[in-house]
Amino acid sequence: MAKRAIQPINAGSMADIAFLLLIFFLVTTTMDSDTGLLRLLPPPPDPNQETPESQINDRNILEVKVNLDDLLLVEGELARLEELRDITKEFILNPTDDQGMSEKEMKTIPFFGDVMATKAVISLQNDRGTTYSVYIAVQNELLAARDELKNDLAINTWGIGYYELDEEKQKAVDDYYFVPISEAEPKRVGGR
Amino acid sequence: MSKFKKSTGKEVGAINTASLPDIVFMLLFFFMTVTVLREVELKINVALPEATEGKKLEKKSLASFIYIGTPVEQLQATFGTEPKIQLNDTFKEVPDIQEFIAQERDALDEADQSKMLVSLKIDRTTKMGVVIDVKQALRQANALKIMYANNPVDVITQY
């Protein structure tokens, strides 16, 4: 049987098909990367267990309250959102050993040895009428205060920022500034 | 003899387009790998609040999304203007969240179930009441890793 010569396939429209697919994917997909504030909720309360009385010394708690008019109360005093970061940092560091600010305790942390670490706890309370964006802004400032302290410590110790450190060193820094941000059970603050 | 001779009409050869499909396919594969398919059609307005400390969501496959906001204009006649919770494609109430979380958790591999994360995409003008209810429901459903989605900015300008 005579061999038939294979005709070359016309690939001219290949580009058109590929373009069509490309445009389809461009339209149906999103490229926006999701960012957000990571938080951990407390586990659900155990009904069989009575809530233990808070063992934390009052001076170690930084009380932050937001009312339904989105006003901020820090340690019983009216504050502006712009001030919150510095207030929080000062409260955690307590450079002058003020009786009204957080205590420190001896802790043994890898890389640092025996250090006086803070015992501060931040308590955040908000009203059901608080606006979400204000709540996020407050959370953001509190997280920023803690992250800035961690970053400063990393730069002072190793000369590089917190996020460039390896996991073990990050953990050590986390240990140094272990400042939980606790959210109290919701209640009405300054309701009408 | 003139100095400005008309150039002897040298024909421009046809450009070889044989490699064009390859180039376009390369682009196509690039977009296919770096993007994700749009998951849900939003029935509510969600303008995320601004924050500077947001962390990037590393593994989108581990995340479930809860949207809260006011219904879009076309649906306001039927659903009103009060903030609503949207799970997947439908409006739901707070008690439905437990079931939703259970479903989402079952959809994940067993090894990944503990890493599950819930991303809350909440409109900036929402009042905290509904957010608190959702958070309590998430606690009951044992979905404790949450993320408040936000717009990354350098300086917060409005809140």
Structural domain includes residue A135: yes
Chain A residues whose CB is inside 8 A of the B145 CB are: 38, 40-41
Residues A132/A66, Cβ–Cβ less than 8 Å: no
pTM value is 0.77
* Burial class of residue A97, CB neighbours in 10 A (0-12, 13-18, 19+): exposed
Q: For chain A, positions 149-168, list CB contacts with chain B under 8 A.
A: none
pLDDT tens-digit profile of B32-77?
887 766 667 788 888 888 888 888 888 878 888 899 999 988 888 8
Structural domain includes residue A137: yes
Instruction: State which residues form the domain around A151.
Output: 58-182
- Residue matched to tokens 């150039």: B7
Nearest Cβ partner for B150 among A12, A21, A36: A36
More confident residue, A100 or B38: A100
The answer, for A25 touching chain B at a CB cutoff of 8 Å, is yes
Structural domain includes residue A77: yes
Structural domain includes residue A120: yes
Structural domain includes residue A160: yes
Output the six-digit token pair for B6.
Answer: 């008309």
- Model ipTM? 0.75
Chain B residues whose CB is inside 8 A of the A31 CB are: 34-35
Residues B62/B117, Cβ–Cβ less than 8 Å: yes
Contact B24 A28 (CB under 8 A): no
Question: What mean pLDDT is predicted for residues A80-104?
Answer: 84
Residues B36/A29, Cβ–Cβ less than 8 Å: yes
The answer, for B16 touching chain A at a CB cutoff of 8 Å, is no
* Burial class of residue B128, CB neighbours in 10 A (0-12, 13-18, 19+): buried
pLDDT at residue A192 tops 50: no
Contact B34 A140 (CB under 8 A): no
Q: Give A192's DSSP letter.
A: -
The Cα angle at residue A146 between residues A45 and B136, in degrees rounded to 5: 20
- Residue matched to tokens 């196509």: B28
Structural domain includes residue A114: yes
Q: How far A175 CA sits from the closest chain B CA (Å)?
A: 20
pLDDT at residue B132 tops 80: yes
As a whole number of angstroms, the distance between CA A143 and CA A181 comes to 8
H helix intervals, chain A: 14-28, 81-93, 132-158, 167-176
Would you state the pLDDT for residue B38?
A: 65
Q: CA-nearest residue of chain A to B22?
A: A15
Q: How many domains does chain A have?
A: 1
Residues sharing a CB contact under 8 Å with residue A5, sequence separation 6 or more, in sequence order = none
Neighbours of B112 (CB within 10 A): 13
Contact A128 B127 (CB under 8 A): yes
Of A92, A87, A82, residue with least CA distance to A150: A92
The answer, for B25 touching chain A at a CB cutoff of 8 Å, is yes
Would you state the pLDDT for residue B7?
A: 59
The answer, for B56 touching chain A at a CB cutoff of 8 Å, is yes
Structural domain includes residue A12: no
Would you state the pLDDT for residue A157?
A: 86
The answer, for B34 touching chain A at a CB cutoff of 8 Å, is yes
Would you place residue A39 in the very low, low, confident or very high pLDDT band (cuts 50, 70, 90)? confident
